[in-house]
Amino acid sequence: MLTSRSMTATGKRLLRATVAVTILASVAGCGTSKLTTGSVSKASGKAVEQMSAGELAGASSSLGKAYASNPSDKQTAMRYAQVLQMNGRTEQSLAVMRKLAIAYPTDRDVLAAYGKALAGTGELEPALDAVRRAQTPEYPDWKLLSAEAAILDQLGKPGEARALYRRALDLKPNDPSILSNLGMSYVLKGDLKTAETYMRSASEQPSADSRVRQNLALVVGLQGRFEEAEKIASHELSPEQAKANIAYLRGMLAQQNAWSQLKDEDKKKSDTN
């Protein structure tokens, strides 16, 4: 069984692995960002996070051509950067957003997306600065508050992060993306019961999307309730994808337990010497 300390390490690994996606979606090869607001591809009319790997590749190719012909087009560049991030090409995504931020230095949407791209490459302090610059105190944006909180969580500042999540909820009560992000904050600290409470509340909201329910499946799976997690995941993914995701999660947790056991054995040997 995972200790609180080892679960904290697991939670951090999982959340950082999901800067572009929730873990259950990324294993299926169709990722989204915990910090992404779910933009839609003009080409297909489908939300980017719901695209298959093949659809993402096609979108990347078509958007890449459109971007090359006019790199200053804001909407094209932002969609292209998001698709690149979904495909795991985070450095290229950041390069696109960095160039766009130079062209639109005061645009809130651009600065917010730039901050998310920075976070996707692990550049958390610059990401925090970009998101904060995008915010206007007199007209606070709940999405930016939630994004800032997610970055603070990754910087190991859960108290500040949760205060911002609650401010965001004051502006947008019961928003599923904020509730889900708040739940992930508790995953980072190994408090899976509290995390599940927020995740369930998020998934019950009428506007909850696939990512929110996948986060709930993740938290349920992290507690060892794999059949329940697979059932939740299967509502969003094919049965094969759901099984593959839960198998991955089982393996990850088994590996975490193995490392914990090895550390315990090493400590016992040290104590007896």
DSSP letter at 254 equals H
Q: What is the pLDDT of residues 214-235, one digit of tens each?
A: 889 989 988 888 889 888 888 7
Q: Which fold does the domain 4-261 belong to in CATH?
A: 1.25.40
What's the CA angle centered on 225, arms 24 and 197, to 5 degrees?
80
Model pLDDT for residues 158-200, shown as the tens digit of each residue: 999 999 999 999 999 999 999 999 999 998 888 999 999 999 9
pLDDT at 205 over 60: yes
Nearest CA to 223 among 190, 264, 186, 201?
190
Query: Which of 34-38, 52-56, 95-99, 103-107 holds the top average pLDDT?
Result: 95-99
Q: How far apart are CA 143 and CA 42, in angstroms?
A: 22
Q: Is the Cβ–Cβ distance between 21 and 91 less than 8 Å? A: no
Structure tokens at 239: 């049965």
- pLDDT confidence band for 3 (50 / 70 / 90): very low
The conformation of residue 40, written as its DSSP 8-state character, comes to: B
* pLDDT tens, position by position, 57-95: 888 889 999 999 999 999 999 999 988 988 888 899 999
How far does Cα 191 stand from its chain's mean position?
18
In eight-state DSSP terms, residue 175 is -
pLDDT tens figures, 11-27: 555 544 443 333 223 22
| Tokens 């299926």, located at residue | 28
